[in-house]
């Protein structure tokens, strides 16, 4: 009798050791797969094979937390419940911090399972599993549940590491994209100050974020003519910066061979539409000034109107068309022409100047801005821009919510 008991005890010990060895082998295989960056679907397949073939578990649901909601990411066996039903089981289980039996649970869904296995990290629930159709001896139950919990925990940690790695790569890509966008935009931004006998120019650019969609340019066409442009592209980031780079190259190329502003804008519209497939558009104010004739030709393509100040009065330059890049053919196009008196000031800006977050809309609107131009139109371009930003910051007390570009010219 004693020999039989000793033999039986030895057999049980051997069985337990073999079981532990099998568990270690299973964990080792899963760990190796994780280290090889095996796809998530393959990890789930390995998990199911271990649960089905090694532990003889007939029904399994693997729920993982995301944005305070539990989603079933692996399942087999039994009647598959709807995602909502499975997610709704969590409030009934949230107080359980360790594996627990479910067969006598009051909830009719949970009562169809044998055990609940939670996965926590620093008191935060990361995942849980529901085990059903599982028949094991009382002596081995605790060991099996601990093994299942360890196995699932290893996979959850691997999934979390994969997620963090993806987020880090995405953040690095986004950071690099922003750096490239800033580099592109810096190449697009010309001088901030320019002074000749006939014209003085000052520009201010205040991006709301690292990279914006504003663009401005000033350049000579020949010894008698110069041109300037203020534009705003829809969207932000590297795509907006690259679109503006293409726009700048197209503009410079076109005006080198084409004198007519109307033709230039029509062709720019075709180029932008072809490059963006209508998904982005550009508003712009484009002007050409002849120093001999003192004629200013301009087109306002859906942009905030440039303000011309002369001899104590101010007018808005509104003639033009709609935004470019939105239509195959511009629905209308009216080129403006105006004589410029000596000493005139031309103030160009983007819509960020009018989209300030202020305590009261009455503090700042187009009428208030016209008043500011009339009151300060005799200042130098630099002093005008500096004074305007001081006025915005200290009188209007407006908060920047979009990019602001100011381009001011004094024509003598």
pLDDT tens, position by position, 274-294: 988 888 899 999 999 999 999
Q: Which of 157-161, 224-228, 250-254 has the lowest mean pLDDT?
A: 157-161
CA 391 to chain centre: 32
Q: Which of 117-121, 133-137, 369-373 has the lowest mean pLDDT?
A: 133-137
CATH, domain 2-167, list 3.30.2130.10, 3.30.450.40, 3.40.50.300, 3.40.1390.10: 3.30.450.40
Q: Which residues pair with 324 in a beta bridge?
A: 282
pTM for this predicted structure: 0.61
Convert the pLDDT of each residue in 260-274 to its tens digit: 999 999 999 999 999
pLDDT for 142 equals 85
Is 408 or 12 the better-scoring residue by pLDDT? Answer: 408
Task: Give ∠ CA 72-97-20 in degrees, rounded to 5.
Answer: 80
Decide: residue 160, CB within 10 A, 0-12 exposed, 13-18 middle, 19+ buried.
middle
Mean pLDDT, range 191-210, rounded to an integer: 81
User: Would you mind telling me the total number of residues written for the chain in this entry?
Assistant: 412
Give yes or no for a contact between 349 and 405, defined as CB atoms under 8 angstroms apart: yes
| pLDDT band, residue 128 (cuts 50/70/90) | very high
Mean pLDDT, range 75-99, rounded to an integer: 92
Give yes or no for a contact between 287 and 335, defined as CB atoms under 8 angstroms apart: no
Mean pLDDT, range 144-159, rounded to an integer: 90
Give yes or no for a contact between 208 and 403, defined as CB atoms under 8 angstroms apart: yes
Residue 94 has pLDDT above 80, yes or no: yes
Between CA 201 and CA 220 the distance in angstroms is 12
Fold of the domain built from segment(s) 189-411? Phosphatase 2c; domain 1 (3.60.40)
Between CA 398 and CA 208 the distance in angstroms is 13
Q: Which residues pair with 125 in a beta bridge?
A: 120
The domain ranges of the chain are 2-167, 189-411
Convert the pLDDT of each residue in 2-42 to its tens digit: 554 555 556 655 655 666 677 778 888 888 888 888 888 89
Between CA 207 and CA 182 the distance in angstroms is 10
Residue 401 has pLDDT above 90, yes or no: no
Give CA torsion, residues 69, 74, 77, 81, to 10 deg. 20
| pLDDT band, residue 240 (cuts 50/70/90) | confident
Mean pLDDT, range 121-139, rounded to an integer: 87
Mean pLDDT, range 325-345, rounded to an integer: 96
Domains 2-167 and 189-411 share a fold: no
Token pair recorded at residue 66: 């995301």
Give yes or no for a contact between 57 and 51, defined as CB atoms under 8 angstroms apart: yes
Mean pLDDT, range 126-139, rounded to an integer: 86
**Strands of 67-160, DSSP E:** 69-76, 100-101, 115-121, 124-132
Average pLDDT, the chain: 87
């Amino acid at each position: 009798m004693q020999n039989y008991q000793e033999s039986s005890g030895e057999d049980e010990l051997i069985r337990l050791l073999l079981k532990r060895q099998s568990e270690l082998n299973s964990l080792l295989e899963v760990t190796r797969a994780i280290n090889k960056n095996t796809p998530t679907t393959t990890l789930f397949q390995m998990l199911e094979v271990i649960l089905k073939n090694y532990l003889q578990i007939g029904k399994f649901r693997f729920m993982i937390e995301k944005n305070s909601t539990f989603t079933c990411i692996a399942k087999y066996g039994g009647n598959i419940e709807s995602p909502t039903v499975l997610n709704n089981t969590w409030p009934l289980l949230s107080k359980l911090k360790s594996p627990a039996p479910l067969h006598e649970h009051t909830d009719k869904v949970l009562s169809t399972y044998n055990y609940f296995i939670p996965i926590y990290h620093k008191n935060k629930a990361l995942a849980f599993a529901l085990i059903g159709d599982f028949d094991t001896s009382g002596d081995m139950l605790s060991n099996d549940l601990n093994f299942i919990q360890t196995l699932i925990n290893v996979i959850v940690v691997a999934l979390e590491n994969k997620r963090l790695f993806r987020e880090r790569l995405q953040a690095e890509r986004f950071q690099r994209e922003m750096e490239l966008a800033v580099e592109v935009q810096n190449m697009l931004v010309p001088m901030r100050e320019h002074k000749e006998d006939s014209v003085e120019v000052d520009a201010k650019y205040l991006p709301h974020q690292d990279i914006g969609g504003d663009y401005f340019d000033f350049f000579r066409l020949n010894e008698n003519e110069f041109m300037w442009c203020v534009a705003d592209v829809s969207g932000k980031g590297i795509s907006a910066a690259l679109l503006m780079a293409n726009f700048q190259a197209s503009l410079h190329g076109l005006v080198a061979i084409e004198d007519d502003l109307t033709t230039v804008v029509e062709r720019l519209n075709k180029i932008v539409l072809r490059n963006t497939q209508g998904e982005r558009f550009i508003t712009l104010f484009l002007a050409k000034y002849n120093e001999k004739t003192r004629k200013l030709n301009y087109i306002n393509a859906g942009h905030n109107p440039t303000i011309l100040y002369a001899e104590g009065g101010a007018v808005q330059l509104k003639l033009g068309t709609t935004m470019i890049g939105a239509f195959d053919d511009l629905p209308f196009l009216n080129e403006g022409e105006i004589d410029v008196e000596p000493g005139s000031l031309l103030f160009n800006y983007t819509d960020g100047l009018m989209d300030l977050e202020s305590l009261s809309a009455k503090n700042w609107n187009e009428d208030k801005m016209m008043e500011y131009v009339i009151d300060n139109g005799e200042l130098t371009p630099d002093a005008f821009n500096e004074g305007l930003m001081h006025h915005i910051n200290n009188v209007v007390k407006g908060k920047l919510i979009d990019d602001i570009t100011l381009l001011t010219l004094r024509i003598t």
